[in-house]
Structure 1
Amino acid sequence: MKKKSMNLITAVAVLVVLSGVYVGVKTYVAKQEEKENAEEEEEKTQVFSISSEDVHSIKFVIDKKEVTFEKNNDEWVKSDERDFPVDQDKLIEAIGSLNNVEADRVLDNVTDTTEYGLDDPTNTITITDKDGKETVLHVGMENASTSQYYVENGEDESKIYVVADSVFQPFMKTLYDYAKAGTFPVIDSSTVSNVTVDENDDSYTLTKDNNTGLWNIKDQDGAEKADSAKVSSLTSSIASIAYGSFVNYNCKDLSEYGLDKPYGTITINYQEEVEEKSDPTEDGDASEENSTDEQDTTEDKKDISTMDSTEDKDDASAVDSTEEDTSATDSTEEDTSVTDSSDTQTRMVNREMTILVGDQSDDDGRYVMVNNSKEIYTISNDTLSVFLGKTKEDFWDMTVSYLSVNNLESLQAEYQGETHVIDVSRETSEDNSGDDSSTTSTTTLSYQLDGTEMDDSTPFTTFYNKLINMTGQKRLTEKYENNNKSDFDVELEDVDGEKTKIDYYQYDTNFYAAVVGQKVYLVNKMTVKELIDSYKTLVGQTDSESSDENSDLVSEENATDEDSNSADNTDNTNGVDVD
């Protein structure tokens, strides 16, 4: 037992000694590595150094041509093109990489520089200091595996220096990498009032109605209402347009970029807020008095008008039984100055931007020129695709027929040989009991079915909401002919006496064809069935057709759940071509 204890003690002692040896060896190795690294740092050879402030000019090869930049009143200019928009920061950054050029290795007594690429240098950089002294650095082949360049200083051609490639990468760019590029004009999309796109032989125009805020789409064949969501997506994208590459700051030959005969032209009309300084008057007191008088006069001249509310077709309140109009002062005046301070005012001015779109560029975009600026940039194809490659069909409003109940005079519908008429009556009352002097007008709507007053308007509002919110999944562009009788017909008459007729024909197993004048919409069959069901509830009508037809309608509920794209692939049961 005593012997085992001694062996254990001995083993522990040996372990302690070995641990100490390990720590000592580790410390020694670390110190040796530190020493070797310090020696390597000391062994680095300086190839060239200069303070950025002492550089007067620098010449190097760009796009296989020698280009010289020189200082002019503390600004860098391109020697042969003083109008060239030099990016001061980028050039100063490139010059800064030459402040202290050090070599990782030095190859002495080199007689043949061919194998290092110095017989035909990748670049030659000539630095001239403020005293006129020139230094020439020849940059040869790049060793891609070590990320180093072979460099020769013209002052001693017997040595070749191996230098980190990060020193010379700033000099391996294109000319316009050293140019100060402009930015695409900033446009507030909410002020856009018109967008016109001409592309080859096709063109379309989106125009905003300033009174209603709604958009119309038109081409050479006419105009019609546009889908507000699609137009909003287009106008919103205008604010995010950005240039890709800067190509030419003063283009003299548009044909070089395909801009003499543009691939497309985009014209945008919008408004911009500008600041203007008002003219100060000599007499301060008189100025203050005149200013007050002018303000009072302006207040007197303001028009008091009824503010029109924007009708939202997706809001169920479109068919509320009451309509409330409140008189209010319209404080928004086009192009009216708004005083920001005693000597500065702002106003909205009309602007127009024209974007010429040319040939395809190398960066997956196209060359563009904005407002005949002579500056050529690129814009990505993704950005331009919002405008180009479109037709008016892409912006069509797919609402079959919308008429606010506030403007409805009467409605006539026919289903299964029975015709019913709903008339709308209005009663207006005024209330001026408020604290202010304004008068509130309230219009109450009531409905008569076939001449009998409806006690409960809910069935009508349910039906009417479905009717005016009916949307097509596709619109036919070819002439539609159908010799069959329509399943359901509705005729709307507005308060001005204008009538609109909607006829629903069975198109195929998935769709109804909703015909409104010359327009034909393909509408989900199940949606039309829901419309008809709500109409039957309204008028208390029951189906008189066979149970077989009723069962067919029920079976169609499953068929109409298919993807809307099936409208493009459906059998042409009516002899109609679908684009």
Structure 2
Amino acid sequence: MKKKKGPLILTGVLVILLIVYFGLSSWNKKQDKKEEKETVKVTDLDESTITAIKYQVAAGEMSFEKEGDTWYYSEDKDFPLKQSKPEAIVKAAAQITADRKLEDGDSLDAYGLDDPNYSIEITEEDGTVTTVSFGDSTGTDYYVTVGDTGTVYTVASSVLDDFKTELSDFAQLDEYPSIGSGNLKKEVITENGTTTTYDSENEDQEEEIAAVAGGLGAVSLTTVADYSVEDADLAGYGLDEASRITVEATYTKNEDEKTMKMYIGSEDGNGNRYVMLDGSKIVYQISDEVCKNVLNQE
């Protein structure tokens, strides 16, 4: 009687597959441990303990300080700082990893670390200061050292990407409402004590309402002249109470009636005028043409 070979062959295949599976699983675990072991940390800080950070990377020195739960721009505490920005910088600085740590390296000047190109200074709440210095470039990497340890690492140049910032990147600008002919109810302009009103309920003002609505809809608060203007400096922009033009627009949003008050100041000499929203300290520049439309001027 012939023996059935099918079950035996299947059993053999299953055994082989199990051996391969467990072999690969063991290899992957070893690789994970190897990679974990090879991770070299340049900084290993608890970001929640960091209270100040200063860095000089691209566009000059940038410095931020934390009081309580709030971050401030060190040079101007009134600067409208977007909190998520310094938080992201701190997170990047707290955990910098290296590609490798140099063993028995040369003196720091051999790597350009005696006079660093870039630096990051991190201060913790207990007063501890950690300074990360970046020396010469090796192509895709930088030579790096921490404080006066003398230890040299190579770090990917991409580590600096988070620090290549300008002050404008950190600004929390004012939110300007969406206004157009479909939702503008009324615009009241006050200039030199004289008030002009354009009302959407007035059938004789259809053209005027369309014109001023078009102007209001074209306003874009993106170009900043001053992030935190002092009251004493308002006159320089023509935005002091005696000089400015006040525009108060009543509009609807989701069927609710809202009001936006904006001040228009003098020209900047380049085809723009200075503008600011009521309650804000940011002075913007918008084109004179847009301002003329807002004011229904020729």
Alignment of 1:50-199 (within 5 A): 50-61=45-56, 64-72=59-67, 75-111=70-106, 118=113, 121=116, 123-140=118-135, 150-162=143-155, 165=158, 168-184=160-176, 189-192=184-187
Q: C-alpha distance in 2, partners of 1:10/1:210?
A: 92
Question: Could you tell me whether the CA contact under 8 Å between 2:186 and 2:198 is conserved in 1?
Answer: no
Shift of 1:160: 0.8
CA gap 1:142/1:194 in 2 versus in 1, 3 angstroms? farther
CA gap 1:350/1:171 in 2 versus in 1, 3 angstroms? closer
**Candidates 202, 205, 208, aligned match of 1:215:** 205
CA gap 1:171/1:189 in 2 versus in 1, 3 angstroms? same
Q: C-alpha distance in 2, partners of 1:11/1:210?
A: 88
Question: Could you tell me whether the CA contact under 8 Å between 1:357 and 1:369 is conserved in 2?
Answer: yes
Query: What is the DSSP-based 3-state SS (H/G/I as helix, E as strand, rest coil) of the residue aligned with 1:48?
Result: coil
Q: C-alpha distance in 1, partners of 2:276/2:248?
A: 14
Shift of 1:121: 4.4
Query: What is the DSSP-based 3-state SS (H/G/I as helix, E as strand, rest coil) of the residue aligned with 2:22?
Result: helix
Question: Could you tell me whether the CA contact under 8 Å between 1:85 and 1:179 is conserved in 2?
Answer: yes
Alignment of 1:318-357 (within 5 A): 353-354=263-264
CA gap 1:359/1:176 in 2 versus in 1, 3 angstroms? farther
Gaps of 5+ in 2: 231-236, 239-243, 252-256
What's the TM-score once normalised by structure 1's chain length? 0.37
Shift of 1:74: 5.4
Shift of 1:40: 1.0
Shift of 1:142: 7.3
CA gap 1:27/1:181 in 2 versus in 1, 3 angstroms? same
**Candidates 201, 204, 213, aligned match of 1:235:** 213
Q: C-alpha distance in 2, partners of 1:129/1:95?
A: 11
Letter of the 1:51 counterpart: D
Aligned length: 271
Q: C-alpha distance in 1, partners of 2:21/2:290?
A: 63
**Candidates 362, 369, 372, aligned match of 2:274:** 369
CA gap 1:27/1:76 in 2 versus in 1, 3 angstroms? same
Q: C-alpha distance in 1, partners of 2:30/2:12?
A: 27
Q: C-alpha distance in 1, partners of 2:127/2:146?
A: 17
Query: What is the DSSP-based 3-state SS (H/G/I as helix, E as strand, rest coil) of the residue aligned with 1:49?
Result: coil
Match of 1:29 in 2: 24
Cα RMSD for the two superposed structures: 5.0
Alignment of 1:281-296 (within 5 A): none
CA gap 1:368/1:182 in 2 versus in 1, 3 angstroms? farther
Question: Could you tell me whether the CA contact under 8 Å between 1:208 and 1:214 is conserved in 2?
Answer: no
CA gap 1:193/1:132 in 2 versus in 1, 3 angstroms? closer
CA gap 1:139/1:191 in 2 versus in 1, 3 angstroms? farther
Question: Could you tell me whether the CA contact under 8 Å between 1:103 and 1:164 is conserved in 2?
Answer: no
Alignment of 1:267-282 (within 5 A): 269-271=247-249
Question: Could you tell me whether the CA contact under 8 Å between 2:116 and 2:134 is conserved in 1?
Answer: yes
Letter of the 1:39 counterpart: K
CA offsets 1:506-553 (integer angstroms, 9 cap, x no match)? xxxxxxxxxxxxxxxxxxxxxxxxxxxxxxxxxxxxxxxxxxxxxxxx
Identity, % of aligned pairs? 21
Q: C-alpha distance in 1, partners of 2:90/2:247?
A: 44
Q: C-alpha distance in 2, partners of 1:356/1:14?
A: 91
Question: Could you tell me whether the CA contact under 8 Å between 1:59 and 1:125 is conserved in 2?
Answer: yes
Q: C-alpha distance in 2, partners of 1:211/1:14?
A: 89
CA gap 1:112/1:240 in 2 versus in 1, 3 angstroms? farther
Question: Could you tell me whether the CA contact under 8 Å between 1:183 and 1:242 is conserved in 2?
Answer: no
Alignment of 1:557-572 (within 5 A): none
Q: C-alpha distance in 1, partners of 2:260/2:124?
A: 51
CA offsets 1:150-169 (integer angstroms, 9 cap, x no match)? 53212323321435835x43
Gaps of 5+ in 1: 197-205, 217-225, 253-258, 261-265, 274-346, 361-365, 393-579
Match of 2:254 in 1: none
Question: Could you tell me whether the CA contact under 8 Å between 1:367 and 1:377 is conserved in 2?
Answer: no
Query: What is the DSSP-based 3-state SS (H/G/I as helix, E as strand, rest coil) of the residue aligned with 2:151?
Result: coil
Question: Could you tell me whether the CA contact under 8 Å between 2:263 and 2:275 is conserved in 1?
Answer: yes
Query: What is the DSSP-based 3-state SS (H/G/I as helix, E as strand, rest coil) of the residue aligned with 1:192?
Result: strand
Q: C-alpha distance in 1, partners of 2:273/2:110?
A: 44
